[in-house]
Homo-oligomer: A and B are copies of this chain.
Amino acid sequence: MMKENNEKWTVLSSEYLHREPWLTVRKDHVVLPNGSHIPSYYILEYPDWINVIAITRDKKFVLVRQYRHGLQETAYELCAGVCEKTDASPLASAQRELSEETGYGKGNWQLFMTISANPSTHTNLTYCFLATDVEKVTEQHLDATESLSVHLLTLDEIKDLLDRGEVHQALMAAPLWKFLATRPDECR
């Protein structure tokens, strides 16, 4: 598994097409190491994101169910959100989002994996946390534009969702399959 040198592209020019709160598009004119030009390479700039595999003391997974307008479907999801500038760290973002979306908190937290929706186009990373022994500590605090319900699922129910292919969101399927691959007996 030899690694060659990083074949970084050279950016000749760069301009922003959009700089909205939920959409920042940059157009780069790039040159590849082989001399090829790509005059319009589009990059989507986002803040980092987080999600959480949250498991209660009695081994229930805290999921949410939410409509997603890109695929136009409602699905079970991990609690997830954006790292706000006011958050001290991705861990703080994840703890804030779990509290706001589900009312759960406390417990033991660890960074479980770090992934990207698409390294070709996205500048940001998603930090996936594993939180065990969480408990209900407050009520949901949702924005007016958030509509989601909280569901407690067993490990077998999570496995069924994955086996049936109902977890379309790759940023959530990856940590959940990693959990099954590395901790298959943890929540029995």
Q: Which residues of A contact B (CB under 8 A)?
A: 1, 3-4, 6-9, 17-18, 20, 22-23, 25, 28, 30, 32-34, 36, 38, 40-44, 65, 67-76, 113-123, 125-126, 144-145, 147, 149, 151, 153, 157, 161-162, 165, 167-171, 173-174, 177-178, 180-181, 184
Contacts and interface: CB of A to CB of B under 8 A. Distances in A.
B25 A169 contact: no
Nearest to A72: B8
Contacts of A32: 145, 147
Q: Is the interface of A mostly helix, strand, loop or mixed?
A: mixed
Contact of A4 (B17, B42, B44, B74): B74
Nearest to A11: B69
Contact of A70 (B4, B43, B171): B43
Contact of A42 (B7, B8, B23, B147): B23
Contact of A147 (B34, B147, B168): B34
A168 B116 contact: yes
B168 A170 contact: no
A34 B169 CA distance: 24
A171 B115 CA distance: 9
Nearest to A6: B74
A70 to B, nearest CB: 5
A102 to B, nearest CB: 16
A38 B115 CA distance: 28
Contacts of A72: 8
A144 to B, nearest CB: 5
A9 B67 contact: yes
